Structure 1
Amino acid sequence: MAVERFSSNKPFPFSDIVKANGFIFLSGQVSMAQDGEPLKGSVAGQTQCILDSIETTLSRAGASLNDVVRVQVWLSDMAHFTEFNAAYSTRFAQGFPARTVVASKLAFGVDVEKYWR
């Protein structure tokens, strides 16, 4: 099996992307600066920051948000669900991927994390 890894520029031990057998797998992402500093703020702002980062990451592998088939979302509290949905729904011009949203305590005290396939 051919595997291609795209390393992360952030100071953590993971690949941003792994391509294997025609599939693209992205590491989970939170709103974070390139130096690894968490970017807090509103849930909408964190969501837009993550989506911007995901678009940039996908482009490194020759893909876009239109190629995403599955998203796993973690929110720090389901009370953020409406604000998250409002921000998330603005970015998928060709329809939404399958998605699951759960609540969990998140690293760095952020409110949103996403995992993409």
Structure 2
Amino acid sequence: MIWIQFAILLVAILIGARMKGIGLGVMGMMALALYLFVFRMRPAEPPIDVMLIILAVVSTAATMQAAGGMDYLVRIAEKILRSKPSMITLLGPLVTFCFTLFAGTAHITYSLLPIIAEVATKKRIRPERP
């Protein structure tokens, strides 16, 4: 029985991923309906602690963006990366780590990727290789 339920889960994920957008959520809802009504499974308690942590991190990042803190951090990171372009393979991950540490989430580092790519391209360094 568990293998049938696992197969339903995988099929729902694959179909939802192909649908893109909100399709993954819709397919997850359909799989959940199958589990509830066909297999008579009881739903678990919602992970309130996890949801509150996500809410706190997103609120912090939004406040930082609205107050101008993100732009400030990006300017500092850009100065650091452009001051020593030959050390981009060391400074890139270090600055990205500090950015994540101060911002609270790794999604904040997406604003650093174009700067790292530009500095590495100008110095003809491939930062993905050691």
> Shorter-normalised TM-score: what interval?
0.3 to 0.5
Give the alignment's TM-score, normalised by structure 1. Answer: 0.34
Structure ranking higher in helix proportion: 2
Which structure's relative contact order is higher, taking Cα pairs within 8 Å and 6+ residues apart?
A: 1
Q: Which has the larger radius of gyration?
A: 2
- Decide which structure has greater strand share: 1
